């Protein structure tokens, strides 16, 4: 999926609210089991649609939220 579409359509903030994660809890969940290291500010910027995270981080987030990567990225709109 193109970077611009991910910036425009991602559902990161909506999903984090649904699952009641704080940014710190999400950061720890992503890193759990030696996952990718990501800063809280990077997660926040992704939610605010300012940056796109790497595919490995987005895949880990989708797994945490029990959704597909396409749904997280907003590809199904």
Q: What are 52-76's pLDDT values in tens digits?
A: 999 999 999 999 999 999 999 998 7
Whether residue 47 contacts residue 13, with contact meaning beta carbons closer than 8 Å, is answered with yes
Per the structure block, which two tokens stand in for 45? 């910027």
Q: What are 13-60's pLDDT values in tens digits?
A: 999 999 999 999 999 999 987 878 899 999 999 999 999 999 999 999
pTM: 0.88
Name the phi and psi angles at 5, rounded to 5: -70, -35
End-to-end CA distance of the chain: 12
- Cα separations in angstroms, 2 against 10, 15, 22: 12, 21, 28
The pLDDT score that the predictor gives to residue 1 is: 53
């Amino acid at each position: 999926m193109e970077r611009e579409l991910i910036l425009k359509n991602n559902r990161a903030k909506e999903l984090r609210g649904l699952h009641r994660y704080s940014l710190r809890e999400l950061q720890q969940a992503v890193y759990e089991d030696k996952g990718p290291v990501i800063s809280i500010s990077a997660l926040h910027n992704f939610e605010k649609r300012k940056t796109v995270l790497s595919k490995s981080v987005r895949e880990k987030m989708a797994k945490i939220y029990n959704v597909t990567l396409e749904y997280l990225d907003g590809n199904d709109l």
